[in-house]
Amino acid sequence: MIAAVETYLAVRRAVGFTLSNTEYLLRSFAEFATDQKQTHIHTTTAIHWASQARSVAQRHVRYQTVRLFAQYLRAEDPRHESPPINYFGYRKTRRVPHIYSRDEIADLVLAATRLPSPASLRPKTYATLISLLAATGLRVSEALHLLVSDITPDGLLIRKTKFQKTRLVPLHDTAVTGLARYLTHRQATRSADAHVFVSDDGQPLVYWKVHSMFRSLLKSAGIKPSHGRWPRIHELRHTFAVRALESSPTGRQRIGQHMLALATYLGHVNINTTYWYLETTPELLRDIAVVAESFVQGVQP
């Protein structure tokens, strides 16, 4: 079965997947099955192996990994069993995101501009990074991987990111102006690195340092923990999505079209991920409830 694992990984990696965790899990399963003298996938074996994980979420990941592998193998050899969907009954839960107010975003940017060493690039780097995330809804990793050459007259070229997709993100005129202003200051570092966001030594920013700095900026801006947890920089993306839905100019009746456009803009592979944003604000949920009630009563909204 090890040979089948190698072939499966090679096929999927050929289309852009990294699969580091998948490789680890499938090798472990193959060894487990081989120890039991099995050359084909059996559902009971997959369940037994997956059940060794401590949490339901981990069991689900292990089980789902084998299930996808089994589907691939079964296409050529029906002796492989196809484990049923969601055997462990796992349902992913998400923490309630912090939706930043416009004042909070402005305070974060202001706090960044007031970082020590105002003559250095650091205050401008973090102020621009936060502004760009808030204005575009980019993933933090996407912003940190931006190259100067990715800034085009039509917007930002986001290359092969989380789901191996490339997309173009249009920019508002104010974002274009702010980014151009930052690049002027950035050129003064004379960094040979091609990344847009760099530190004072010319090296690209790394996520853990950005995360740590953002926590400091939250405190400087007077933003407190929400629901017992500190707001995250990634939630600027959530905020962008929610505000985009709230400000839809053609009305909520056409929410399906808005969701499809937003999913494309944000680079979501599954639109269910985008629909989750509907659950994050009372305003959106209230509108959904009104439309649903009208539908049940047979009243046109």
Q: Give the residue numbers annotated as catalytic, written as ranges.
A: 139, 162, 234, 237, 268, 277
- Find out whether 44 and 23 touch, Cβ atoms under 8 Å: no
Closest CA to 128 of 171, 161, 160: 171
Task: Give the whole-angstrom CA distance, residue 184 versus residue 250.
Answer: 38
Dihedral angle of Cα 214, 219, 221, 226, to the nearest 10 degrees: 90
Task: Give the whole-angstrom CA distance, residue 144 versus residue 210.
Answer: 9
* Strand order across the beta sheet in which 167-169 lies: 151-152, 155-158, 167-169
Tallying the residues shown for the chain, one arrives at 301
Distance between first and last Cα of the chain: 57
- Find out whether 175 and 131 touch, Cβ atoms under 8 Å: yes
Q: Give backbone dihedrals phi and psi of 53, rounded to 5 degrees, phi first.
A: -70, 155
